[in-house]
């Protein structure tokens, strides 16, 4: 209810779709953090943020739009006109990208908003208190001691990516959970590092290229899982349309794997070569 009210207010103020997603992600992150600190149960924040933004994602950009025609409404002279745009039986790459990109952008805005909120929490809060509350939702690293194996990191990231795909495939709205969980984990990890390490903070900017690439890979794979789940429900498995959708899902998975491999390569260079020189 609160999410829908805020969305309507922001929409009425003519704020753009992506700005609305960012503001709401930030608002519910702060709300989730407040409740988590009051209850001293860190996973409450994950639950609140995931549940809060779920109806907004479904309402603004539904995954079902990727599988069926769109309905656009237009009111003129007191009459309501609805235009139904039917899909061609066979998709092309340009059509699929035009459907997929707005969903990716929305998840990216939510991710950045949640990430920023939890970086601020981790960097400004009382470290022993926060690490106890958010146990299991963060990691620690030291740029002076951390040496990364590209192969181990690559296989780990691909494993996480496939788990995200399966989670989104099994659970209808698993994509949202994957996005929120990763944003909280990386936000707290970076925030705790800033809080406990007194080195050059500018060097931390080197983290963001591989962070965005890795997060993007997880988004793409999770969205692919959601599309696959809905295609099985909506389409006949033996139909040509299902085969086309299955091909598109495989392409998305391939793109997501390439993104996390590239991210792993950049992360290896940053931690093994650049961080020792900066810190």
Handedness of CA 144, 150, 156, 158 (dihedral sign): positive
Over the stretch 9-35, which tens digit does the pLDDT of each residue have? Answer: 555 555 567 787 888 889 999 999 999
Among the ranges 48-52, 59-63, 156-160, which has the highest mean pLDDT value?
Answer: 156-160
pLDDT of residue 152: 92
Mean pLDDT of the chain: 78
Question: Is the confidence at residue 118, as pLDDT, over 90?
Answer: yes
93 or 223, which is more confident: 223
Q: Give the model's pLDDT for residue 63.
A: 46
The Cα 67–Cα 49 span in angstroms is 27
pTM of the model: 0.79
Q: For 159-186, what is the mean pLDDT?
A: 84
How many whole angstroms separate alpha carbon 203 and alpha carbon 246? 42
- Identify the pLDDT of residue 154: 93
Lowest-pLDDT range of 118-127, 136-145, 219-228: 136-145
Where does the pLDDT of residue 117 fall: very low under 50, low under 70, confident under 90, or very high at 90 and above?
Answer: very high
Q: How far apart are CA 109 and CA 61, in angstroms?
A: 13
Confidence band for 80, pLDDT divided at 50, 70 and 90: very low
State what percent of residues in the chain have pLDDT above 70: 72
Most confident of the ranges 47-56, 174-183, 191-200: 174-183
pLDDT digits (tens, 9 = 90+) for 127-148: 888 888 998 888 776 666 667 8
């Amino acid at each position: 209810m609160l999410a829908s009210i805020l969305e309507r207010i922001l929409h009425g103020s003519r704020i753009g779709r992506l700005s609305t997603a960012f503001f709401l992600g930030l608002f519910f992150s702060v709300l989730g953090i407040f409740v988590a600190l009051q209850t001293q149960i860190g996973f409450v924040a994950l639950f609140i943020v995931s549940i809060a933004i779920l109806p907004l994602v479904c309402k603004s950009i539904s995954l079902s739009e990727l599988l069926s025609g769109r309905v656009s409404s237009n009111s003129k002279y007191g009459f309501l006109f609805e235009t139904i745009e039917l899909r061609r039986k066979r998709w092309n790459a340009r059509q699929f990208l035009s459907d997929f990109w707005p969903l990716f952008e929305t998840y990216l805005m939510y991710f950045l908003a949640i990430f920023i909120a939890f970086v601020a929490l981790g960097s400004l809060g009382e470290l022993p208190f926060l690490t106890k509350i958010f146990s299991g939702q963060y990691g620690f690293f030291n740029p002076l001691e951390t040496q990364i194996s590209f192969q181990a990191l690559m296989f780990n990231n691909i494993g996480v990516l496939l788990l995200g795909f399966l989670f989104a495939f099994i659970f209808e709205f698993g994509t949202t959970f994957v996005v929120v969980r990763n944003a909280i984990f990386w936000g707290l990890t970076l925030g705790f590092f800033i809080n406990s390490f007194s080195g050059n903070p500018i060097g931390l900017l080197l983290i963001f290229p591989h962070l965005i690439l890795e997060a993007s890979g997880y988004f793409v794979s999770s969205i692919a899982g959601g599309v696959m789940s809905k295609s099985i429900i909506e389409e006949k498995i033996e139909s040509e349309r299902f085969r086309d959708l299955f091909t598109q899902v495989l392409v998305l998975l391939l793109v997501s794997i390439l993104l996390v491999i590239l991210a792993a390569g950049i992360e290896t260079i940053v931690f093994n070569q650049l961080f020792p020189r900066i810190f």
